[in-house]
């Protein structure tokens, strides 16, 4: 199957999802972002380094976990829920809860006043020195609540000048607020753009509130589209970095997102983040109640790969909730509830934060060097298909290392490995396998389902029982690279894998599809429940 048809025949791929155990034909994925090793430098903002972009842009993204794939291993972000109101309705959102696609569904986050939000940010920043980014992402639309949003930003720009400020919006009010955004030095803005064709938009947005009227249908989508494009152009003209979020809705906008990618790239978008639709019926969204399904892992990757060469793709998004705190994929918000921050003594120590971040930079440099060495070792000609690419799942607790026990993983990072690259392509959430020291047999099939498209899983440690089960499912459990840097570990394993093929010890086979677990990352809150 060629890359061109990989996304067109998306319905066909679904068959693979229904029978995960069967090995189905895997589409030849196109070069993904930055995987075209032969062409030299990666063009992808997410995995790009200082050599790939102008210095002033690198300065803006290097510590931002959402804008730099490399940074997301080391730096943390937090969201404050000061913006509950929204000015549009989306079919993937039930406003009784937070937006289910861009924040945790089913739980309303603790709404904060701007004063409470500032206090919370300072408390978290004092406790977590790697927290470098503050975002306002809802639970409604940040710019439908301009006063609350900008009051918070103004205070923070004064009291915590080293924290990067960013916000997310649906774009409807964006053109009116560009001056304010620039005034508070908000240099990262995320716009959710799911379509550039109002006919498609009408299937996603039942109505917008615009100029004192509720506007519906194609007309509503047309207005929203025009405002989104205008807002994006204005931000680009002012030098604000933009990330475009798109929710992939199978049968509605899957192929269309390739056009969205082209249009936003043309208007200067820095990153494009294509996220899977979350639509469990219990979230009560229109899509959820009407049987609209989300994409499989392979469907998501097919669209992402088809967009390669357009706007740079972000693949490490965790769709975190509007009040998330911590590294991506981690949520420590329970430690910073209003009651708890009331009792904290807050000392905002810029020097301490700087010292910690310097340490992180050293570690990060070591990770980059380890990858470079491993790439050099992997380049040797071994007589095996030089274009072979496989996916590898990794259990990690951060710091860019293979450092998590298989049973403790609530998510796996997925790397696409070839002779020329070890590229982060996504993550998969799973049920915790190990609870109270014992393996949960029921959880294992769901773990296997989530990483079923991988040839190996790299872990710090793994018990005998899941080891056998994984092997039976055709996924090789690997603990030889415990506590090594991820890219180095993945490439070393891959080199060994190729050697075994060269020696005739095993035959390379393609893997099947994997399932994307529904529900945004719920982290600690869910484990406590």
Partner 1 sequence: MALKIIASQCTGCSACEPECPNVAISEKGGTFVINPKKCTECEGQFDSPQCVAVCPVEGCIKPA
The angle at the Cα of 312, spanning 310 to 315, to the nearest 5 degrees, equals: 125
Cα–Cα distance, 59 to 389 (Å, whole number): 32
Q: Where are the alpha helices (DSSP H) in 275-349?
A: 286-289, 297-306, 338-343
The continuous run of DSSP H or E covering 356 comes out as: helix 350-378
Which CB, 81 or 307, lies closer to partner 1?
81
Which CB, 141 or 263, lies closer to partner 1?
141
Instruction: Collapse the DSSP code of 439 into the 3-class scheme (helix H, G, I; strand E, B; otherwise coil) and give the result.
Output: strand
Q: How far is the CB of 209 from partner 1 (least distance, A)?
A: 5
The angle at the Cα of 240, spanning 236 to 244, to the nearest 5 degrees, equals: 75
Cα–Cα distance, 458 to 201 (Å, whole number): 41
Using alpha carbons, select from 185, 65, 68, 78 the residue that is nearest to residue 124.
78
Q: How far is the CB of 217 from partner 1 (least distance, A)?
A: 15
Q: How far is the CB of 144 from partner 1 (least distance, A)?
A: 7
Instruction: Collapse the DSSP code of 476 into the 3-class scheme (helix H, G, I; strand E, B; otherwise coil) and give the result.
Output: strand
Angle subtended by helix axes 146-159 and 174-183, to nearest 10: 20
Q: How far is the CB of 212 from partner 1 (least distance, A)?
A: 5
**Residue position matching structure tokens 């570690």:** 363
Cα–Cα distance, 90 to 220 (Å, whole number): 11
Using alpha carbons, select from 283, 192, 178, 191 the residue that is nearest to residue 234.
178
Cα–Cα distance, 245 to 84 (Å, whole number): 19
Three-state helix/strand/coil letters over 235-267:
HHHCCCEEEEEEEECCCCCCCHHHHHHHHHHHC
Task: Compute CA 271 distance to the chain's CA centroid, rounded to the nearest angstrom.
Answer: 12
The site for partner 1 (CB under 8 A) is made up of 84-87, 89, 95-96, 108, 111, 139-140, 144-145, 209, 212-214
Which CB, 185 or 290, lies closer to partner 1?
290
Q: How far is the CB of 142 from partner 1 (least distance, A)?
A: 13
Using alpha carbons, select from 395, 471, 402 the residue that is nearest to residue 434.
395
List of residues 6+ apart from 518 with CB closer than 8 A: 278, 279, 280, 294
Which CB, 140 or 198, lies closer to partner 1?
140
Which CB, 273 or 285, lies closer to partner 1?
285
Which CB, 111 or 405, lies closer to partner 1?
111
Cα–Cα distance, 194 to 197 (Å, whole number): 9
């Amino acid at each position: 199957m060629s890359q061109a048809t990989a996304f067109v025949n998306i319905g066909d791929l679904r068959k693979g999802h229904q029978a995960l155990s069967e090995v189905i034909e895997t589409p030849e994925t196109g070069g993904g972002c930055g995987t075209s090793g032969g062409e030299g430098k990666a063009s992808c903002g997410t995995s790009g380094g200082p050599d790939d972009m102008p210095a002033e842009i690198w300065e803006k993204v290097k510590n931002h976990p959402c804008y730099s794939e490399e940074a997301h291993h080391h730096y943390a972000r937090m969201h404050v829920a000061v913006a509950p109101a929204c000015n549009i309705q989306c079919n993937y959102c039930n406003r009784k809860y937070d937006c289910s696609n861009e924040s945790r569904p089913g739980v309303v986050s603790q709404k904060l006043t701007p004063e409470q939000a500032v206090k919370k940010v300072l408390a978290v920043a004092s406790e977590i020195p790697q927290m470098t980014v503050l975002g306002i992402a809802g639970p409604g639309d940040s710019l439908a609540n301009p006063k609350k949003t900008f009051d918070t930003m103004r205070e923070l720009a004064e009291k915590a000048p080293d924290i990067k400020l960013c916000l997310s919006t649906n774009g409807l009010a964006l053109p009116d607020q560009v001056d304010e955004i620039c005034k508070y030095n908000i240099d990262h803005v995320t716009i959710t753009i799911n379509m550039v064709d109002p006919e498609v938009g009408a299937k996603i947005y039942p109505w917008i509130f615009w100029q004192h009227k509720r506007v519906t249908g194609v007309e509503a989508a047309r207005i929203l589209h025009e405002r989104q494009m205008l807002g994006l152009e204005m931000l680009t003209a002012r030098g604000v970095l933009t990330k475009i979020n798109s929710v992939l809705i199978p049968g509605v906008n899957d192929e269309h997102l390739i056009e969205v990618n082209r249009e936003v790239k043309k208007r200067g978008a820095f990153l494009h983040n294509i996220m899977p639709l979350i639509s469990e019926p219990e979230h009560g969204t229109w899509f959820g109640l009407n049987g609209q399904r989300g994409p499989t892992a392979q469907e998501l990757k097919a669209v992402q790969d088809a967009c390669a060469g357009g706007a740079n793709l972000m693949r490490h998004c965790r769709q975190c909730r509007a009040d998330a705190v911590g590294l991506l994929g981690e949520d420590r918000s329970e430690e910073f509830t209003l009651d708890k921050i009331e009792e904290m003594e807050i000392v905002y120590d810029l020097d301490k934060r700087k010292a910690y971040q310097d340490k992180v930079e050293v570690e990060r440099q070591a990770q980059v060097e380890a990858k470079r060495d491993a790439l050099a070792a992997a380049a040797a000609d071994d007589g095996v298909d030089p274009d072979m690419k496989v996916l590898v799942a990794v259990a990690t607790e951060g710091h860019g290392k293979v450092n998590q026990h298989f049973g403790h993983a609530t998510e796996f990072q997925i790397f696409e490995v070839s002779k020329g690259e070890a590229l982060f392509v996504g993550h998969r959430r799973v049920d915790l396998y190990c609870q109270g020291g014992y393996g949960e047999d029921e959880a294992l099939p769901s773990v296997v389902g989530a990483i079923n498209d991988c040839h190996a899983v790299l872990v710090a440690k793994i018990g005998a029982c899941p080891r056998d089960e994984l092997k039976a499912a055709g996924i090789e459990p690997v603990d030889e690279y415990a506590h090594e840097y991820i890219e180095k570990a993945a490439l070393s394993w891959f080199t060994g894998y190729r050697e075994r093929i060269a020696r005739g010890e095993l035959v390379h086979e393609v893997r099947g599809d994997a399932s994307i677990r529904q529900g945004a990352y719920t982290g600690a809150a869910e484990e406590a429940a």
